[in-house]
């Protein structure tokens, strides 16, 4: 995908997963998986009533104990509004930016939404309102597409993002 080279940047926002409740769940899972390795391999006691083989515990500890916290630490949603389109990337799932051309946007609005009820949570989600890319909070900009689709981009500053989309489209936000 083209990353907007040569186009003028009107708005940029980078959001990370930094909510305390997410980190409590991630770190609890991480500590439990690491504790399983310590308990079974180092202390020599079976971890649970039907313990997994040592190699499985090690794999789980690496994936969940190390991989999960690293994933949530580096994961971010970057949104850019440029004079030729709206670009977004949900790193590390998207290595390059996705582009929605201005010609593909038929409408837009800053809005408050219910992440769990409307889309089933945070991340890259599908719901009644279309597709959503969100990291935290309950605010964003809903883009109405010419093909009838809808994409919600979560934002901590949705009014500013919507204003930039309006400027890019050459019309005022209604």
Question: 95-108 burial, b for 16+ CB within 10 Å, e for fewer?
Answer: eebebbebebbeeb
Which pLDDT does position 5 carry in this prediction? 62
pLDDT in tens, 140-150: 999 999 999 99
Q: Give the pLDDT mean for 64-88.
A: 96
Torsion angle, CA of 153/159/144/4, rounded to 10 degrees?
-60
Helix (H, G, I), strand (E, B) or coil at 33: helix
Q: Give the pLDDT mean for 72-99.
A: 96
65: Cα within 13 Å, side-chain hemisphere: 15
pTM above 0.85, yes or no: no
Which pLDDT does position 171 carry in this prediction? 53
pLDDT in tens, 99-114: 999 999 999 999 999 9
10 pLDDT more than 70: yes
pLDDT grade for 58, boundaries at 50, 70 and 90 = very high
120 pLDDT more than 70: yes
29 pLDDT more than 80: yes
């Amino acid at each position: 995908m083209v990353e907007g080279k040569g186009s003028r940047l009107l708005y940029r926002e980078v959001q990370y997963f930094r909510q305390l409740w997410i980190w409590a769940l991630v770190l609890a899972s991480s500590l439990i998986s690491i504790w399983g390795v310590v308990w079974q391999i180092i202390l020599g006691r079976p971890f649970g009533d039907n313990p997994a083989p040592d190699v499985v515990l090690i794999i789980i500890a690496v994936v969940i104990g190390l991989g999960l916290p690293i994933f949530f630490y580096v994961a971010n949603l970057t949104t850019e509004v440029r004079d030729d389109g709206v670009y977004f990337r949900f790193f590390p799932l998207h290595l390059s930016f996705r582009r929605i051309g201005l010609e593909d946007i038929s409408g837009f609005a800053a809005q408050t939404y219910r992440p769990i009820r409307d889309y089933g949570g945070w991340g890259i989600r599908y719901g009644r309102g279309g597709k959503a890319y969100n990291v935290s909070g309950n605010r964003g900009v809903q883009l109405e597409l010419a093909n009838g689709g809808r994409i919600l981009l979560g934002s901590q500053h949705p009014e500013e993002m919507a204003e930039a989309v309006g400027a890019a489209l050459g019309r005022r936000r209604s």
